[in-house]
Amino acid sequence: MRPLLLLLACLLSSAASAADGIQTGVPFHTPFAVDGQRTINRSIVSVDAEGTIVLTIHFLKGQEIEVAEYELIRQDAPGPEPGPEPQPDPNPPAELWAIVVEESGERTAQQAIVMADPEIRGLFKASRFRIVDQDEAAADMRSYVKRATDKGMKLPALFLVSPEGKVHFEGDLPATVAETKALVRKILGKAP
């Protein structure tokens, strides 16, 4: 069995190209040491019949040429690549409801500042900014508690909803008053 060697995605793929710096079947030198000493080597990458990518290094050990083979595994960067910047809604809602689902016993001082800020509350018509404790939600707010729970959302969770019930945002309550105002204004299609 060949030893395992992990390389970053930018180093190698089974269909490597000149832009990658390593080409399948073309010899190259690899930083390589034997018994702690750099040695002269010639390396080549190949793909066997099963599609396994193999790095073969022929190196000088004393007066003998030795061979080491490694199975290469492509390791891509973690997480998805960022997608395009979301475009503003061409028909933004005329107004929104804000529903904050929280565990009131775990509310921090910063969260309380955001939820009580008069400028944020002023972005919504009277009684259209609701704070709901997950354990004491009124019947008309239980669907938001369930949605936050089912999706494993961190509390406090913020829902920005149009009067007809379309959810325009769901996620963490922004950390600051400025971030919260910017989010609401963006969804409403207003300049910050």
pLDDT, tens digit (0-9, with 9 covering 90-100), for 28-72: 777 767 777 777 788 888 887 887 888 888 888 888 888 888 887
Write the burial class of residue 117 (CB in 10 Å: 0-12 exposed, 13-18 middle, 19+ buried): middle
So what's the pLDDT on residue 19? 42
Instruction: Write the class of the CATH domain 97-188.
Output: alpha beta
Q: DSSP state, 164?
A: T
Residue 156: cis peptide before it, omega within 30 degrees of 0: yes
pLDDT at position 69: 83
Give the tokens for residue 155.
């509390």
Pick 34 or 1 by higher pLDDT: 34
Domain with CATH 3.40.30.10 in the chain: 97-188
**Confidence band of 76 (pLDDT split at 50, 70, 90):** low
